[in-house]
Amino acid sequence: MRLQFKIFLIIIPFVSLPLFLLGLWSFNEARKGTYQSTYRYLNIVLESFINEHIQQNYQLLLNARLEHVQSYIDNYQQEAKNKAKIASEVKGGHLFILNKDGKLIFSSQNHEPAFIETDWKTISSKLVTQNPDYILRGHLESDHYSDIYTARYFQPWGWVIFYSVSDSEIRTLVNNILLVTFGVTALCAFGGSFLIFILSNIYLVHPVNTLKDAASKIAAHQNINTIEINSKDEIGMLARSMETMSQSIHSYKTQRDLTETLLLEKQDELSQNQQKLKTHRDSLEDIVELRTIKLSETNKHLHQEIKTRKLAEDQIKASLREKQTLLDEIHHRVKNNMNVVSSLLKLQANNIEDDRMKAILQESQNRVYAMSAIHETLHGSENLSEIDLKKYLFKISTSIFQSSSVNPEKVKLKNDIEEMPIGINQASPLGLIINELMSNSLKYAFPDDRGGEIRVSVKKLDTALELIMRDDGVGIPTGLDWKNSSTLGLKLVRTLVENQLDGSIDMENKNGTKFTIKFNLDKS
């Protein structure tokens, strides 16, 4: 069975059943609504007739106090009957009035009075016994009538007013509604099913067939670029997927063929390369063997060379140690000799009574010590070309201070010297300069048992060195040209600074004496 017929058979009950139920419900509602509307209509007509033409006429008579005047009552009742006739003609239906005894007073239609009185008397009697405002409605089924009706009792005139319509009219109307409802339902069911059949054919069956054809082509390894389904739904998406799948298969196939060709080429190339590699490998093995022999020989030579060099290095090191020991011994002997010189100067000074000479010898002794202190410091040190400046200057300054005659309780020595190495070529003049300047301060700055402080500070300024020698003594006498002084000490200082250290010296005579010496350090 084809797909569209399956769909058609499935859909028919789903469409027909709800439509049938809807039609059934509609018919039922329409039938109820028709009867309710009819009752409502009967009520409205009856109420408006009673209010406008019976109640109002009676009220007019009541207001005019004519309600007991029979001529007026008859006239106004007749007026009401006339209006009832007109109302019945205009609005349809049967309007009739019975008195409270059940006797017919008025009928808008030419019915047999006896039939009306017989068939409607029971209802009339029921109304007469009820509340005047009570409205009775219902359905009368008798030999002569099959009517639906409403009725009310108007007590002042003893009238029971009925308004009825034949039930057959309503039934005909309801049957018409039934026929129309089922007709429309059947039409809708057929139309709906047909429409769904057509739509399913367009939107489902035809696309599925197209997909089926496309799948067959793909199975036969045919390439499909486009499947003629343009919808955006699942079928459209399936078509797009199949297009992609077909293109992928085709692409894969092409790629596979290409790869196989390449693989064959590569296999040939590999075989050739393997052959070449084998040849190279054989050749290389020969080379390696040859080179290995050469390398063994070279290695042997190298071992010999290392051995030779190590022997030479040991000889150099022994020579160096010997020279260093020798140099250290030289410094030691120089120091000893200078100490001998210093002791000789001291012995001589002790034998001389002239204080000036004594002082000169003392100064010379200090100067010799300053020079010997370098060798003393160098002796035993590892590096014989440089000395520790702080250690050296501390030794000199302390020695000068201790050998002077100043009271150590009153004059204090303060050293502020940075630790740094300095070459012996610059250390020696620097030691002499310190010796001269400190000797001057000790000699002249603190006369008459004056107290004070001598401060020696040395610091490194990048590549230069700055020595400040300061005392807070009495200072240099005013007018003394220290640069051109004839004294040996200051002359020696200037000479040492400018000629040996290639530096500068400044003096400030304020709150004591302050010498500032700057020179560039030798690069070692």
Partner 1 sequence: MELYTFSTWVKNQVIYFRTLKRIILLETMDVKVVRDRSHWFQVQMKDLGYSEGLNMELTILKANGRSQLAESLLNKALLKNEIDLVVTNATLASKAAKKILRNRIPQLFMTVSDPVGAGLIEKIGFSTGKNITGRVHNISRETKIKIVLRLIKNKIKTRPVRFGYIHSSYPSSVGDIRHLKAIAEKNKDIRFISYEIPYKQFPVHIDYMLKELAKGLKKLDGKIDYLWEPLGPFAESIEYNKLLKVQANVPVVYGVNKESAQVGALIYLAPDPETEGREVGELADMILKGTHPGKIVVIPPIKFNLGINLTTATKMGIIIPPDILKLANQNLYR
**Minimum distance of partner 1 from residue 44's CB (angstroms):** 22
What are the C-alpha distances in Å from 349 to residues 126, 334, 353, 356, 441?
176, 22, 8, 10, 22
Nearer to partner 1, 64 or 202 (CB): 64
**Contacts with partner 1, residue ranges (CB under 8 A):** 56-57, 60, 63-64, 66, 69, 71-72, 75-76, 79
**Minimum distance of partner 1 from residue 65's CB (angstroms):** 8
Q: In sequence order, what are the beta bridge partners of 423?
A: 386
Nearer to partner 1, 73 or 204 (CB): 73
* Token pair belonging to 328: 């250290």
The structure tokens 């393997």 sit at 274
**Minimum distance of partner 1 from residue 76's CB (angstroms):** 6
Nearer to partner 1, 64 or 293 (CB): 64
What is the Cα–Cα distance from 470 to 200, expressed in whole angstroms? 118
Nearer to partner 1, 60 or 302 (CB): 60
Nearer to partner 1, 49 or 515 (CB): 49
Number of C-beta neighbours around residue 54 at 10 A: 24
Long-range contacts of 496-505 (CB under 8 A, 24+ apart): 496/429, 496/432, 496/433, 497/429, 497/433, 500/426, 500/429, 501/426, 501/429, 501/430
Nearer to partner 1, 79 or 354 (CB): 79
**Minimum distance of partner 1 from residue 155's CB (angstroms):** 19
The runs of H, that is alpha helices, within 138-233 are: 167-200, 206-219
Nearest one of 44, 286, 30 to 175, comparing CA atoms = 30
**Minimum distance of partner 1 from residue 56's CB (angstroms):** 7
**Minimum distance of partner 1 from residue 38's CB (angstroms):** 30
Phi/psi-derived region of residue 449, left when phi > 0, alpha when psi is between -120 and 50, beta in every other case:
left
What are the strands of the beta sheet with 411-417, ordered from one edge? Answer: 411-417, 452-461, 464-471, 513-520, 504-509
Nearer to partner 1, 58 or 163 (CB): 58
The structure tokens 């045919």 sit at 222
Nearer to partner 1, 17 or 69 (CB): 69
- Residue by residue, DSSP assigns 35-97 as HHHHHHHHHHHHHHHIIIIIIHHHHHHHHTT-TT-HHHHHHHHHHHHHHHHHHHHHH-SEEEE
**Minimum distance of partner 1 from residue 139's CB (angstroms):** 35
**Minimum distance of partner 1 from residue 83's CB (angstroms):** 10
